[in-house]
Amino acid sequence: MKKQLCQQMLDKSIEELRTPRHWLPHLCFLSFGLVLLFIGHILLGLNPRIGNPAIVLPLKAEHIEDGPLWLSVSLHQESLVVTTAERNIMRFPALIQSQEELTPLKNYIRRHLVGQILSAGLTKKVRKKELFVLIAVDQKAKYVHLRPVLQLLAELGISQYGFETQIPLDTVTAPQGNTPTEATM
Q: What is the pLDDT of residues 86-125, one digit of tens each?
A: 888 888 888 888 888 888 999 998 988 888 778 777 777 7
The yes/no answer on whether domain 69-169 falls in CATH 3.30.420 is: yes
DSSP-assigned letters across all residues of 30-90: HHHHHHHHHHHHHHHHT-TTTT--SPPP-------TT--EEEEEEE-SSEEEEEETT--EE
Q: What is the pLDDT of residues 39-82, one digit of tens each?
A: 877 766 665 555 545 555 666 666 555 567 888 888 888 888 88
- Residue 120's φ and ψ, nearest 5 degrees, are -65, -35
37 has pLDDT over 50: yes
Domain boundaries, the chain: 2-45, 69-169
Query: How confident is the model at residue 181, as a pLDDT?
Result: 44
CA 50 to CA 42: how far, in whole Å?
Answer: 12
DSSP structure class, residue 166? E
Query: How confident is the model at residue 185, as a pLDDT?
Result: 37
Note the maximum CA span of the chain.
Answer: 105
149 Cβ neighbours under 8 A, 6+ residues apart: 71, 73, 82, 102, 105, 135
CA 110 to CA 114: how far, in whole Å?
Answer: 6
- Residue 85's φ and ψ, nearest 5 degrees, are -65, -25
DSSP structure class, residue 168? P
